[in-house]
Every structure is written in structure tokens, then in C-alpha cells.
A and B are shown apart, each in its own frame.
Chain A
Amino acid sequence: MPTITLNKNVFEKLVGKKLPLNKLRDRISYLGTDLESIEGNNITVEIFPNRPDFLSEQGFARAFSSFIGIKTGLKEYKVDKSGEKVVIDKSVAKVRPFTACAIVKGLKFDDEKIKEIIQIQEKLHITYGRNRKKVAIGVYPFEKIKPPIKYMAKKPNEIKFRPLEFPKEITGQQILSQHPAGREYGSLLEGKEKFPVFIDDNDQILSMPPIINSHEVGKIMQGTKDVFIECSGFDFNVLSKCLNIIVCALSDMGGKVYSMNLEYPDGKYTTPDLKPEEMKVDLEYVNKILGLELEEPSLKRCLEKMGYGYKNKKVLVPAYRVDILHQIDLVEDIAIAYGYENFKEEIPHVATVGEESALGKFVNKISDILVGLELLETNTYHLMGREELNDKMCIDWSPIKLENAPVDYNCLRNWMIPSLMKVLEENRHHDYPQKIFEIGTVFKKDIKEETNVKEFERLAVLSSHSKVNYTEVKQILDYLMKGLDLDYEIDETEHDSFIPGRVGRVSVNGVEVAYMGEIHPKVLEKWGLDMPVSGFELNISELFRILNKK
């Protein structure tokens, strides 16, 4: 999860109060963020993905100040009309169709402020912007730009400008291969016939989103006062929200926000819009979910602590909030304002009947029977390598493979014995006899299932010592089956993992449920075992089905 680093002095000034360290620590974690560390002047806070508005020093301080009761209630942001426009050409429709823009004046950038704006931009890119895919943000010194601005798409080779921190002019295509940002984000434009660019009235290219700004007209420097901001992407609503988050932070930094007119082929829009949104809140609903008995004044107080306004039973939601989808989101904020630490635990007197899974109970019964025979239960992973499941067992059954796991565990096991062979392999240096068992899930393709995969519970028993043989494991199976009151038959069979003539197919009521026998020495050799092994593998799901039919 993303973190932001706050300059303690700046933060305290923004909050309007200095808190002792332990109080600061405590309040930060009860606001709905996680304090990572306080080291010297740096406070590092982990921000949950639902609150991108916390990803700036200003945004976080704004919420914190309100939460500890310094500056509570809805903070109003004024937007003046700049009268400037951005013309969106229809050519961008296929590549990166939308933008939302604003101008913020009177900022007077210094090193600290440049650092802050870079942090906001970066953190929003990674999180809310999904690594620039969903939102890419550009910030430009407005003084160097001549409006109106055009947003259009051009052929990569016709785009030519000097990208940020690059020695010379290169084409759009070259940026993707030569500029570090081009190499990192180039995949977002891959295969596109045209790349999007912002161009001003002097035909200067401002940037090629979502990759890089121009070095000449797209770099904020010390002394820059006014900035042009654009967010580009695929969803106008998402871009507008992101723009709101940025301009509110810049306003808190001391800037004045101006709107721009966006001329889309299908109509005109104005951004940013910082008017709060109205949402109904039902006090009864709030109290029911939280188990509280709040009255309207405390409801109002709680909402104001979280930066909302409250008027005529309606909540005014600030324009920078992206996470308020439903009234329930207000309920959570009310709970945070009330204080999670203030909720008393309570178990209601509701009668419900507990019930263990029947298969789970059956599995436990079988395990108990086997433990009585001095077998040790193991607990192995469901993921294994194909080599272990197939090659080392001298068979060739295709297990289900994973798309993205390391080769030594990129298969779902399709039988249990290899899991236990692996245990024996890893315990060669320990005392014998080694008698182990495990009941575990195995996986097979089956198009009848909703997932196209069927899962079974299987029991494997293996015994390994110098005198182990078929008799010993048959005794175990006998004892188990007697305990389950089941009769079984054994037929001769062939199985490449077992010694020919010493392997049987076990069936109950005519249904094949197990293999049993002595493991073939060629298999033992592959596992590096020099002690004989005998065992069986029994289908527990099938046995359970048979028993329930009885």
C-alpha cells in the first residue's frame, strides 16, 4: 500500500496544532491510516486505497486537523473562471479520450513546494491512476503556455519535442525507446496508430500523455507562479475527481483555483467543479449499523469532524472525496469520528445451532483411527512441481497448471502420494520406521463443474523402514475399513509407481477407491530414498458418498 512522507513542521502548521508524539501516533491510526514511522522530521503514513485525497500533505493535514477538532466542518473551495479553453480533438477518442483541466495561480514554487507537487502526482499515478493507465497527470508552468490549448492525437513520427531532462528533441516513437519514462510506460501506447499530445497556440508540444512532459514548457521550476494542470484518461468522472484532489491541495498550498472550458466534439464542460455533493443520511440506519444511539447534534458533530457539512438532514460531501458510493460510507466515517476505541463489545443473545461439516467430521474420524496405529499426520502444500507429481513417480498424468507460479510449485497436485514421498525425502536423516498419513485435497479437470475443476479429498498412507511390505499396509487398510464397517475387494492391476505383482486396485461396492502396494525401487531411486516404502491412496470423498448411501 502507498505511503506518504510528511514534513512534521509543515504538517503541524497545516494542522494548526502540535501534538505530543504518542498522541499523534494514536490519532493517526484511529483516523483510518496506518502510521509507519516517525523519524526525525519525517512522518511516514500508509494510506488506504479508498482515500487518494490523503496522498498529499495538504489533504492529509486537512482531514487530521478536522478529526482532532481544530478546523472542523466542510471546507469550501472557490473556483474563479479563467476564461481559457482546451479544445479536445476527436482524434484522441481512440487512444486516450478524456481530459479534465484547471489553472491554479499565485503559488510561488520553491524547493519544498516542488517536492510536494511531485509527491502528489507520483502517489496519485501509482494508486488512483493505476500506474498512469487510468489517470495521467500533467502540471505545467502556465506562464510559458499560450492558450487556447489543444488535446489531439498525432502520428508518433510527427510528434517531435524535447522530453523532460533529455538532451535533445526526439520523436514520439523515439521517446518510447530512448527516454526512461518512455521505456517504463510505453506499453500504455503500444500498438496505437496515433499518440495523444497537448499543444498550445504557438504549436508548442506541452506533453505526450501518459508518458512525459516537454522539457521546455512542461517543467515546474523555482519561481513558477501559475500552473496549468490536466488529467487524461478513459473516464471523465474519474479524471474530474482526481483533478479536484490536486487543485484542493494546491489551494491549501496558497493557490487560487481557476476553471477551464473544455470543448469536446459533442459538447462543452467546465472543470474543476468543487461544489460539494449532497447525500441523504438516515440517523436510524446509522444507529442500527453501529449499535449506537446518536442524536442529530452528535451526528452533525461526527460528520463535521470528518470534513463533511450537514444541513437539513443532508450531508455535504467534499468534492475531493472519491469513496462515497453509498450511505454506508458515511456510516463508517461517523464510526471513525465516534472513535473505534469507544465501541463496547457486545454478544447478542441470538440462538443459532452450530454444525460441523459432515465431511470434516468423517476426515477427523479416519485420522483418529490412523493415529491409533501410530501413524504420524503430515500437513503439506497443495502446490507442487510437475517433476514431483510425474517424473519422480514414473507416471505421466497432466496436473492442472498455474499461470504465474515458480516452477517448483506451479501445479495443483492430482494425487497425494507424491506429497508424502516428498516428506520421506526430506526426512531421510531421521529415525525409522517412518509411518505417515495425510488427508488432503487433490484437483482434476472436470467440465461438469462451474470452475471446470473437481476437488477430492484423498488419504495417503506411507510406511518406510527396512522390513516394510505389502502385508503391513494391507493390515492398515483392513483395520481402517473394519472401523468404517465397509467391505472391500482387491484386484490385480498395474501402476508404474508400484512394483508389478505387488499392487492392487481396491474397490468398495464395485467403485474403485484406492491403489495399494509396494513403491517401485526405480521411484525410490528418483527420490533418493534407500529405504523401502509401501502405502496406499484412498479416495475419501468417494468413500464418504458410499457411506452416506448405505
Chain B
Amino acid sequence: MDIKNLANTLHPLERKVIVVLDKFNSFDDILEETKLKDIEVMRALQWLANKELVKIDEEVKERVSLDKNGKFYVKEGGLPEKRFLKIINEKEKIKLSEVKFATLDKNEKNACLGILKKKAAISILKGGELSITAHGKRMLDKESPEEQFLKGDFPVEVGSLKDLDKLAYDNLKKRKSILKTEIVKLRTVTLTSLGRDLLKDLGDAGDVIDVLTPKMIKDGSWKKKQFRGYDIKINVPSVFGGKRHFVNQSIDYIKRIWLDLGFKEMEGNMVQSSFWDLDSLFVPQDHPAREMQDTFYLKNPKQGKLPSFFKKIKDVHENGGDTGSKGWQSVWSEERAKELLLRTHTTVLSAQTINKLKKEDLPAKFFSVGKVFRNETLDWKHLFEFYQVEGIVVDPDANLKNLKGYLREFFGKMGYPDVRMRPAHFPYTEPSVEVDVYHPVKKEWVEFGGAGIFRPEVTKPLIGVETPVLAWGLGMPRIISGYFKITDIRDLYKNDLKQMREMKAWIK
């Protein structure tokens, strides 16, 4: 950048500072001269240094100034021992208790006494009275090095003190609150040669526009001037707008995929009876998934009501009903079916949805993205509530190849183009499928959920006709945590405002 342009980018603060630099070099002087605030000068100097217009040298120094008592003695006209001596000098002899003046307290009195005795300025008579010595009288006539030192200019650098001043400093330092020394950083600012050149050519600040005001636009005064150029690479403070929770952003996208594929959204309750969540899906009543360590049951209310067609489900469990199945061949309990729980999977919504279908509604496709609940202890890979992506295709012509087709389409849009199926087992699907996707970051196959075709024992009693229903239930945390670079899935729902404010948006 040439000097002209460089001059043009100067911020008003930089301008105010740089013009005094040919005469003043210390920070304090610059402060004084420019009448700017401490922080403004600091910032301006830093910017100038970044542009290599100035060089800032820092030196650490010990600086001494008057403390509380020191200031007071200067104001009162001298050190207390001098006044003490004057009082003694006025009488031939005097008792210690008679020596008094304002602000001379007991400690100070003793200190003065000590100093004067040491310098042989007074003598103590037999009766305890004090009287001045000849030496003392001479002392009254001339100033001590300490007094001279105190009359000097403050603050002053300790390093610059010489001879008597140094001696006086050392003595006074030992006394209470007369002097204070502090460590200071002294900044010396010098113009670089670039800086000196720039200063030569620096025009009048009045010719440069810093802030474009409505007035300038109206009166056209900007036309005769130049705009100050900014340091456009400057770091600016962060702003955080409002936004959707990042998990919800991804849910929205997932919903859109299914909508685009012609699926209708399913809705339903989180509190469900065992009947809908398990029995209607042909999960036997003694299945381990029903146990307390896996499923959250409600305490009060404890039970719900059964729908009027419950007998069909009972028959299917006990003897297969009219499905051609043997059923589980054990007694089915209504009471167990009435127990309320928090849905363990959104497949319960699929069961309720197909139950409402009529033959003429087919083919039909449905999806949902909803919370499910598992009795898990929270840790980095387990949550007690999380989202599940559910889908069903109710189509008399659907088959296992289609199941793979729909899943591949979905995962492809989620960023996982490779999908494979492996055999699995779920009580309500046959064939049952474990869905693996190839994870492009982990470079391995990862289980992303279960799928299959609903068993006739599920579809016949719920729909009334036997028709293939392709179904899947995919755990959402695994699908989305890679995108957000989350490894501890608790972080999906920790609602940390900093994390949420800074989290990248779902861009797909």
C-alpha cells in the first residue's frame, strides 16, 4: 500500500495520535497532548504499530511518588522532627508531654524522639526534660537531604536518583507512608521511517470523511472529500441472532425428505398403553423389553383403557386368531395390556395409523420424527429420551427390495450413500433387518436402526387385511451427531447457550 492510501485508512484516533509523535514520545505525554482516553491512545498506538508506522518500546521501571504522609508533610512545611525540634528550641527545656502540635500522635512522637536523639540534636536532662544541642541549633538553619528530596518533583524514577537523593530515598522509604514505589511499564513511542514519511504528507483531518452522516448526503459535502479507508480485515465482536435449536433444524430436514418422497406425517401421544406400544405389535407379554429396567411405566394413572377391538389382539397372541399363525400359545392378560408407559418406540404410531386405514386408502406411506423413552442411565452414548425416525409403507405390492430402496434414498440424502441390510430380529417384523450405513468418517459400517416387514399377526388384526407393511425405526442421535461433530450424545440436548449460539446451521 502506498503512503497516500495508508494515510487514507487512518482512523480518527490514529490521526490524533500520530500528529503529536514528532514532538512527544512518552505515553503520558501523548495522553496529555491529545486529551484522549487511556484506552483510545492504546488502541490507536496498537493499530499504528500493526501498520508499522510506529515502534513501541516498553521498559519496566520502579517509580517513586509521595504517599499519604509524604504529601501531608510537604503541605505542612516539612518533616515532623523539624517542627518537633523547633518547639524544643523555643524553650530552654521542655517536658516531652508539652511538645505537641496537630497530627503528632504517640507513635510519631516516639519516632521523632528517636531520630533527633540519633542525630544528637537534643539531649535529655536529668529531670527527663528535653533541650536542644548546638548541633540541633545548626540543623534548624539548614535543610536535610530528606527535606530537599521531598521538595523535588514526583513521580521520579528510582534508577535516576543520585548521591544525597538516593540516601534520602533510602531513609524515607523505611518510614511509614511517606513514599510509595510502584513498578510501571513505561512506553516510548517512536515513529518509524515509514511513519515519518506519512506524517509529512498527512493532510488535514478535515478533508477525510470518517462517518458518513445524513447531513453530508443531503448537502453533498462528501463530494469534495475523501473517505477514510477501513482496516477491512479487522476482528469485530461476535453477534448472535435468534435461531432454531440445531437438532430441530435437522428434524425439519428429515421431515422434508419424507414429505418429498410422498409420506404423510403421523402424530400421537408419548404416553401409551402397553396394548398399543407392545401387544398390538405382537410383542409377547413375557418379553424382556417389557421389564422395568427397559421401559418407564406410569405410577398414577397406572392404567389406560383398551380399544374395543382388543379381543382380536388377544386372539392373535393366544392362538394366532385368523392370521394362520400359531400365536404365542400363552394366556394374554388384559390387565398387563392396560399398563401405561412412555412409548418405547414410535412404531406405536405406525400401529395406530394402520389401524385407522381403510382398504381404499392403499397404498399409503407415513413417517414420524418423535421422542421415544428408554429406562437408561445417562452416559455418553445413552439417553433416556431421544428422537426416532419412523416410517411405514402400506402397499399390497411392497417387498423387501423396496424396503432397501426407501432406506437407501433416505440415508443418501442424509449424507450416507452406502446402505446394507443384515438379518436381525424384532417381534413385530418378519423378515427383520438391521440397517447399516457406511460411515464416511469412521470408515466402517455402523448400525443405524431396525427395519422389516410387519408380521401378519400385526397387520391382519389392525388393518383387517393382510398386506405387506414395510417399516423402519431409526435412532436419530447417531444419524445427526456426526454432522454436528458431537461424540457425547448428551451434548445434543445440553442446551448450553454458547454451544447453541455458535453451532453451525444444518445445511443440506
Contact = CB atoms under 8 A, between A and B. Distances in A.
Interface of A: 29-32, 34, 48-51, 130, 133-134, 235, 237-238, 288-291, 325-329, 331-332, 335-336, 340-341, 343-348, 350-357, 359-360, 364, 367, 370-383, 400-405, 409, 412, 423, 426-427, 430-431, 434-436, 438, 441, 443, 445, 449-453, 455
Contact of B395 (A348, A355, A401, A430): A348
10 contacts: A49-B287, A291-B399, A291-B401, A325-B320, A326-B323, A345-B404, A376-B245, A451-B272, A452-B301, A452-B340
A235 B329 contact: yes
Contacts of B421: 340-341, 343
Closest 4 CB pairs of A and B: A291-B399, A48-B425, A32-B423, A326-B325
Contacts of A401: 298-300
Residue among A346, A370, A379, A450 with the most chain B CB within 10 A?
A379
Contacts of A238: 329-330
Contacts of B365: 352
A441 B402 contact: no
Contacts of B19: none
Contacts of A364: 252
A348 B243 contact: no
Contacts of B286: 130, 133-134
Interface in B345-374: 363-365, 371, 373
B201 interface: no
B430 A347 contact: no
Given A441-B270, A452-B301, A453-B340, A354 B258 contact: yes
| B interface, over-half SS | mixed
Nearest to A420: B495
Contacts of B409: 347
B259 A355 contact: yes
B422 A378 contact: no
Nearest to A435: B242
A277 B375 CA distance: 40
A347 B433 contact: no
B214 interface: no
Contact of A450 (B259, B299, B304, B456): B304
A200 B246 CA distance: 70
A426 B495 contact: yes
B166 interface: no
B422 A372 contact: no
Contact of B267 (A360, A405, A436): A360
A427 B497 contact: yes
A289 B469 CA distance: 10
A69 to B, nearest CB: 17
Contacts of A336: 423, 431
Interface residues of B, number: 99
B267 A359 contact: yes
B489 interface: no
Interface of B: 240-245, 247-248, 252, 255, 258-267, 269-273, 286-288, 292-293, 296-305, 307, 320, 323-330, 340, 342, 363-365, 371, 373, 375, 384-385, 395, 397-402, 404-409, 419-425, 430-434, 453, 455-457, 468, 492-498, 500-501
Contact of B245 (A237, A378, A383, A409): A378
Contacts of B255: 356, 360
A435 B501 CA distance: 11
Contacts of A290: 399-401, 431
B431 A451 contact: no
Contacts of A404: 292-293, 296-297, 375
B248 A357 contact: no
A370 B305 CA distance: 39
A374 B297 CA distance: 39
A380 B398 contact: no
Contact of A326 (B273, B292, B455): B455
A453 B302 CA distance: 10
A34 B297 CA distance: 30
Given A332-B423, A347-B406, A423-B495, 7 more contacts: A29-B422, A237-B329, A340-B433, A343-B400, A380-B493, A404-B293, A453-B298
Residue among A350, A359, A426 with the most chain B CB within 10 A?
A350
B452 to A, nearest CB: 9
Nearest to A440: B371
A451 B269 contact: yes
Contact of A351 (B262, B327, B433, B497): B262
A402 B298 contact: yes
A443 B247 CA distance: 23
B424 A32 contact: yes
A450 B493 contact: no
Nearest to B305: A450
A403 B271 contact: no
Contacts of B247: 379
Contacts of B248: 367, 377, 379
Contacts of B302: 403
Nearest to A400: B298
A343 B404 contact: yes
B417 to A, nearest CB: 11
Contact of B242 (A347, A373, A441): A373
Nearest to A402: B296
A367 B300 CA distance: 33
A340 B423 contact: yes
A288 B399 contact: yes
A54 to B, nearest CB: 11
Contact of A405 (B242, B264, B270, B296): B296
Given A235-B330, A453-B269, A355 B297 contact: no
Contacts of A29: 422
A345 B401 CA distance: 5
B307 A450 contact: yes
Contacts of A430: 496-498
